[in-house]
Chains A and B, each alone.
Chain A
Amino acid sequence: MDLIEKSNIQDHLYAILDSIPDPEIPVISLLDLGVIRYAVESDGVVYIKMTPTYSGCPATDVMSDDIKAAFAKEGKKAEVELILSPAWSTDWISEEGLQKLEEYGIARPLSESHDKDALLGGKKLVKCPQCGSKETHLVSQFGSTPCKALFKCDDCHEPFDYFKCLK
């Protein structure tokens, strides 16, 4: 899914937004995550609309503060509004973001049906981000954060997080 077509972000605001990392997963930016849906500067104020990922995600408030701080550094005032609709989906994570996740050690979300098969059907579909093996198994559907599940690799024996498909 092409982020740019679906969201409305002014070109000159891109760089600043891309410099703001996800509070929990610092290797990806808020732009990579796909949570910024609208960013328009008008009369000296930057209006941002953001969709939260999970309802209870504690990082949402932090993201809001980080956005305001990042723009304040550039001498701009930012107002952040949380919008619930359309609801965020893992489809909105950019391809670049997904690759950065893998390099960081978090397996990328599978398609909706494969996600179900992996999390509930015991199918070996999730690739270990450390060694690439598909001989992995689910340890828990809920990992260290609400958005991730915990897996373990049977080949290299390393545990890793899997970013759950949310659609």
Chain B
Amino acid sequence: MNNLYNYILTIADNSLILGQRMGELCGHGPSLETDIACTNISLDLLGQVRSYYQYAAKIAGDGRTEDDIAMLRTEREYVNVLLVEQPNTDFAYTMARHFLFDVYHFLFLKELEKSKDLTLAAIATKSLKEVSYHERFTSDWIRRLGDGTEESHKRMQAAIDELWMYTDELFNPTPTEIAMAEEGIGVDITKLKPKYYETVSEVLEEATLKVPESKYFHKGGKQGVHTEHMGFLLAELQYMQRTYPNLEW
């Protein structure tokens, strides 16, 4: 049971943190249209997270709620990958971060659909419909900005170069992930790696961008060891719940 609970967190924490990052764009998007698109994407992700955390809360069975799981853990208890906690800087960076996750997310959900756990399979099927739209949106922006002006191309290349080191972590399974995959409940993420880099490279090439060659990859998120950005993100995410415990609308 504990394994399943932890496994759900490995899946959902990514969407929680990325959803939080995209939500930060509310009112700050580069255009009204992109502002709404990004916040809609955030909403999709947070909706999926609710389904996962509600299931996790049921499994824990000790009265904890989806909100407790989302907002009251300490930094080392979040197991999202480092990629999704990177901050919003310019729009190229924001789109690059999301795109690099979307490609993985789609491939992951396609496998999770086959899970022996019917709830996870159902969440995956539902989420896939939405994540397909996300991937199309973000890959469109990679192409638009990559194959855009000199300025946009420069920024997008810089973004891809900087975020590349966070991609490999997506394919490093923890013991929990390995155990769950063996039971037919979880996904063997190592199998997703070739298709991931193939898809990403295709889009980058279409966008006239260079595929980074660096072999240095950063990790630690899945072990709860986060970058310095996580503390600030959690401060915002958790502030209300911690300041006004049991606060309700």
Does chain A have a CB within 8 A of B197?
A: no
Q: Across the interface, which residues of A come within 8 angstroms of B126, CB to CB?
A: 52, 55, 84-85, 87-88
Does chain B have a CB within 8 A of A105?
A: no
**Inter-subunit contact B33/A56 (CB<8 Å):** no
Q: Which of A57, A87, A167 has the most CB of B within 10 A?
A: A87
Q: Across the interface, which residues of B come within 8 angstroms of A119, CB to CB?
A: 136
Q: Across the interface, which residues of B come within 8 angstroms of A55, CB to CB?
A: 44-45, 47-48, 50-51, 126-127, 130
Task: Give the distance in Å from the alpha carbon of A146 to the alpha carbon of B133 in the complex.
Answer: 10
**Inter-subunit contact B136/A120 (CB<8 Å):** yes
**Inter-subunit contact A140/B48 (CB<8 Å):** no
Contact pattern, B 128-153, Cβ under 8 Å of A = 1, otherwise 0: 01100100110010000000000000
**Inter-subunit contact B40/A146 (CB<8 Å):** yes
CB distance from B239 to the nearest CB of A (A): 22
Does chain B have a CB within 8 A of A27?
A: no
Task: Give the distance in Å from the alpha carbon of A141 to the alpha carbon of B36 in the complex.
Answer: 10
Does chain B have a CB within 8 A of A166?
A: yes
CB distance from B18 to the nearest CB of A (A): 13
Q: Which of A52, A141, A144 has the most CB of B within 10 A?
A: A141
Does chain A have a CB within 8 A of B46?
A: yes
In the complex, which of the residues A140, A143, A146 contacts B43, with contact meaning CB atoms closer than 8 Å? A146
Known contacts A54-B47, A57-B47; decide if A143 and B36 are in contact (CB<8 Å).
yes
Does chain A have a CB within 8 A of B241?
A: no
CB distance from B21 to the nearest CB of A (A): 15
Does chain B have a CB within 8 A of A131?
A: no
Interface of A is mostly: loop
Q: Which of A132-167 contact B (CB under 8 A)?
A: 139-146, 150, 164, 166-167
Task: Give the distance in Å from the alpha carbon of A125 to the alpha carbon of B67 in the complex.
Answer: 43
Q: Which of B29-79 contact A (CB under 8 A)?
A: 33-34, 36-37, 40-48, 50-51
CB distance from A92 to the nearest CB of B (A): 13
Q: Which of A101-131 contact B (CB under 8 A)?
A: 119-120
Does chain A have a CB within 8 A of B201?
A: no
Number of B residues whose C-beta is below 8 Å from A?
A: 29
Q: Across the interface, which residues of B come within 8 angstroms of A84, CB to CB?
A: 51, 119, 122-123, 125-126
Contact pattern, A 71-97, Cβ under 8 Å of B = 1, otherwise 0: 000000000000011011000000000
Does chain A have a CB within 8 A of B240?
A: no
Task: Give the distance in Å from the alpha carbon of A54 to the alpha carbon of B47 in the complex.
Answer: 8
CB distance from B124 to the nearest CB of A (A): 10
Nearest-CB residue, chain A, relative to B36? A142
**Inter-subunit contact B119/A141 (CB<8 Å):** no
Nearest-CB residue, chain A, relative to B52? A55
Q: Could you name 15 residue pairs across A and B whose Cβ atoms are closer than 8 Å? A: A55-B47, A55-B127, A56-B42, A56-B45, A84-B119, A84-B123, A85-B121, A87-B122, A88-B126, A140-B33, A140-B36, A141-B137, A142-B37, A146-B130, A167-B129
In order of increasing CB-CB distance, the 10 nearest A-B pairs are A56-B47, A55-B47, A56-B43, A85-B122, A142-B37, A84-B122, A140-B33, A142-B40, A87-B126, A55-B48
Report which B residues bind A (CB closer than 8 A). 33-34, 36-37, 40-48, 50-51, 118-119, 121-123, 125-127, 129-130, 133, 136-137, 140
Q: A55-B126, A55-B130, A120-B136 are in contact. List 16 more A-B contacts (CB 8 A).
A: A52-B126, A54-B47, A55-B44, A55-B50, A56-B44, A58-B43, A84-B51, A84-B119, A84-B126, A87-B129, A88-B126, A141-B136, A142-B137, A144-B36, A146-B130, A166-B129
